[in-house]
Amino acid sequence: MATNPQISAVDIKRLWYADADSVSQDLTGALVYAMVKEGGTATEIHNVHQDTWSIEEAEPSQDSYKNQLSGATYRMGAKTMGDVTFNFTLGRYDYATKAALMGGSTIKGTTPNQANDMGWKRERGVVEIKKCLIALTEDDQYCVLPYANVTAREANTDGAIGIAVIGTMLEPLNEAVSPEYWFDASEVKEAA
């Protein structure tokens, strides 16, 4: 008799982000593989500052109503689900990543040998950023938020300026797409 694999989703091994419109259908392991493989649509983050990675789900809230005569709960109100978030701080990053997660734009170098991004400038006003976030845990679990609201800020992190990021799961606009997926790494492979 086959047994289901047991997981713990331990820490973080790899992390990617992609444009929110990268997921247009119900995700499969093959579609996640296509995004994260070399040349795929996802961009890998190469530095997460120590002990800043977590996936958190806030407790749901629900009003309870008491019977005034007995003091016992006799009915429950509507339940509000808690937010699911990916939380991490980039300890080292390039200007393109800073622009992708914080908004704003990169500044190109002014000389021919400085054609790369040599700076960043902040966007004026309120910045709205939506991304697909993909995490691979150390015990080989892919966790995916296909449509996440990303808030990022500069944060002093052990003497350096990191980028503190919170990706909050949103309900995708496409009803075929679930708000959160988990895949064992054995399923994230090229389609047969």
The confidence band for 106, taking pLDDT boundaries of 50, 70 and 90, is very high
Amino acid at residue number 149:
N
116 has pLDDT over 80: yes
- Which comes out higher in pLDDT, residue 33 or 117? 33
Q: Where are the alpha helices (DSSP H) in the chain?
A: 29-36, 95-102
**Would you state the pLDDT for residue 4?**
85
Residue 110 has pLDDT above 90, yes or no: no
This prediction has a pTM of: 0.90
**pLDDT at position 115:** 67
Instruction: Supply angle C-alpha 152, 21, 88, rounded to 5.
Output: 25
Query: Given pLDDT bands bounded at 50, 70 and 90, which one contains residue 114?
Result: low
Distances (CA, A) of 39 to 42, 48, 75, 106: 8, 22, 54, 22
Cα–Cα distance for residue pair 124/30, rounded to 1 Å = 39
Angstrom CA distances, 141 to 9, 29, 50, 59, stand at 6, 11, 20, 23
Least confident of 24-28, 55-59, 98-102, 105-109: 105-109
Between CA 56 and CA 88 the distance in angstroms is 11
